[in-house]
Amino acid sequence: MSGLVIDGIASLVTNDPGSGRGPLGVVEDAALVVQDGRVAWAGPRTRLPEGAGGERYDAGGRAVIPGFVDSHAHLVFAGDRAPEFEARMSGRPYTAGGIRTTVAATREASDDALRANVRRLVAEALRSGTTTIECKSGYGLTVADEARSLRVAGEHTSEVTYLGAHVVPPEFAGDSDAYAELVAGAMLDACAPHARWIDVFCDRGAFDGDQTRAILTAGRQRGLVPRVHAGQLGPGPGVRIAVELGAASADHLTHLSDADVEALAGGGTVATLLPGAEFSTRSPYPDARRLIDAGATVALAADCNPGSSYTTSIPFCVALAVRDMRMTPDEAVWSATMGGARALRRSDVGHLAPGARADIVLLDAPSHVHLSYRPGVPLVARVWKDGRPVA
């Protein structure tokens, strides 16, 4: 594969503190060299290695950042829930129950319809700068429908998460333990070969602490790494269980106890915040400041799903995190790139140091600060994935 030299970069976020200013490793008046889909060199353009060959691209005095790493998405579904959103905006609260509406539509849908939906949303995410995206099952909730959801997800991303424990489906109403046993038994057997991660919605109206622990432990025995939906609708044991089981991340964290903050600060579990969900459910935002100040690793993700957060836009989430969660513009950009990579335990994405995947976003702006300074404006001008232009 031939090389690429991106020149004329006003401000380059490398997320490599060794090669530039601050934790974001910002280099001004920069250039970037790509070879065989990987970053070969990044630095001040005055030091561009001689003989760096290949196609030249002039960034025209604009900013370049790493592609966003969205570590939390629910893309395998059919239909939408606009009426539920409308009712919510007239005062009805968000509950886990709405998930069942999407489960019914998803079970009815053909494989091709599900495939088309994932393809549409992955392409939409790419246009707003997301070059790595995780994708969960969770709207099938039968052995066959969860397995096919994971197969469809796997056609579009390698970050596939088994979320059979999203809610208790109607045919198990009143017997959530029997459903939890299925999730940790026959359903896991069918799903484990198609997934890298296992997730449980541990919350009011979904699964309790004992069920969560049993399901995640069974998943771990099958080689899946846990992640947990924790503290979205109310306080609960989700964070504690996530940390105890070595989960890669605990997600949502709208309701956090002091002990939860302490556990996240000390452990290897990333705190993943999803401000699109608070925005679209009119809920209070999670306390990012408290987590960061305590020393936790914070990721930002879009949580795209048809119920609580029907957006794929990480720039929108970055703006919310800065405006409403007291994150600085630098912190929010870091959390949406490196933070997401940490949550997915990936060292090849989320940064632009030599050796990293050449997943690159050019902004129609002089610096990454404009992502939160200019909310709602489509600032993503061009996206390269593995060194190839894709959007």
Radius of gyration of the chain (CA): 21
Q: Cβ closer to Fe ion: 57 or 77?
A: 77
The tokens of 195 are what?
A: 């997934």
Q: Cβ closer to ligand NIG: 307 or 340?
A: 307
139 marked among binding-site residues: yes
Residue 238 binding ligand NIG, by CB under 6 A: no
Q: Cβ closer to Fe ion: 205 or 389?
A: 205
229 marked among binding-site residues: yes
Q: Work out how close the CB of 309 gets to Fe ion at its nearest, in angstroms, rounded to a whole number.
A: 8
Among 199, 303, 331, 359, binds ligand NIG (CB under 6 A): 303
Packed helices 209-221 and 176-184: angle between N→C axes, nearest 10 degrees: 10
| Of the candidates 241, 306, 291, 350, the residue with the CA atom closest to the CA atom of residue 78 | 306
Q: Which amino acid is at 290?
A: R
Per the DSSP assignment, residues forming a β-bridge with 62 are 9
CA distance 30 to 42: 7
Q: How many CB atoms lie within 10 A of CB 104?
A: 13
Q: How many CB atoms lie within 10 A of CB 173?
A: 10
- Collapse the DSSP code of 28 into the 3-class scheme (helix H, G, I; strand E, B; otherwise coil) and give the result: strand
Q: Give the residue closest to ligand NIG by C-beta.
A: 307
CA distance 317 to 279: 9
Q: Work out how close the CB of 74 gets to ligand NIG at its nearest, in angstroms, rounded to a whole number.
A: 6
CA distance 305 to 183: 21
Residue 306 binding ligand NIG, by CB under 6 A: yes
User: Which residues of the shown chain bind Fe ion in the complex (CB under 5 A)?
Assistant: 303
The tokens of 355 are what?
A: 């050796």
166 marked among binding-site residues: yes
Q: Which stretch binds ligand NIG (CB under 6 A): 113-121, 306-314, 332-340, 367-375?
A: 306-314
Q: Which stretch binds ligand NIG (CB under 6 A): 37-45, 143-151, 304-312, 380-388?
A: 304-312
What dihedral do alpha carbons 351, 297, 253, 145 form, nearest 10°?
50
Q: How many CB atoms lie within 10 A of CB 36?
A: 11
CA distance 120 to 102: 17
Q: Work out how close the CB of 307 gets to ligand NIG at its nearest, in angstroms, rounded to a whole number.
A: 2
The site string for ligand NIG over 97-126 (x = CB under 6 A, - otherwise) reads -xx--x------------------------
The site string for ligand NIG over 182-201 (x = CB under 6 A, - otherwise) reads -------------------x
194 marked among binding-site residues: no
179 marked among binding-site residues: no
Residue 272 binding ligand NIG, by CB under 6 A: no
Residue 286 binding ligand NIG, by CB under 6 A: no
Per the DSSP assignment, residues forming a β-bridge with 112 are none
User: What letter does residue 254 receive in the DSSP assignment?
Assistant: S
305 marked among binding-site residues: yes
Length of the chain measured in residues: 391
Helices and strands in the chain, H and E counts: 15, 16
Among 277, 302, 338, 383, binds ligand NIG (CB under 6 A): 277
Residue 307 binding ligand NIG, by CB under 6 A: yes
Binding site as annotated, residues for N-formimidoyl-L-glutamate: 139, 305, 307
Q: Give binding residues for 4-imidazolone-5-propanoate as ranges.
A: 81, 139, 166, 232, 308
- In the annotated binding site for Fe(3+), the residues are 72, 74, 229, 303
Residues comprising the binding site?
72, 74, 81, 139, 166, 229, 232, 303, 305, 307-308
Q: Could you list the residues that contact ligand NIG (CB under 6 A)? A: 74, 98-99, 102, 201, 229, 232, 277, 303, 305-309
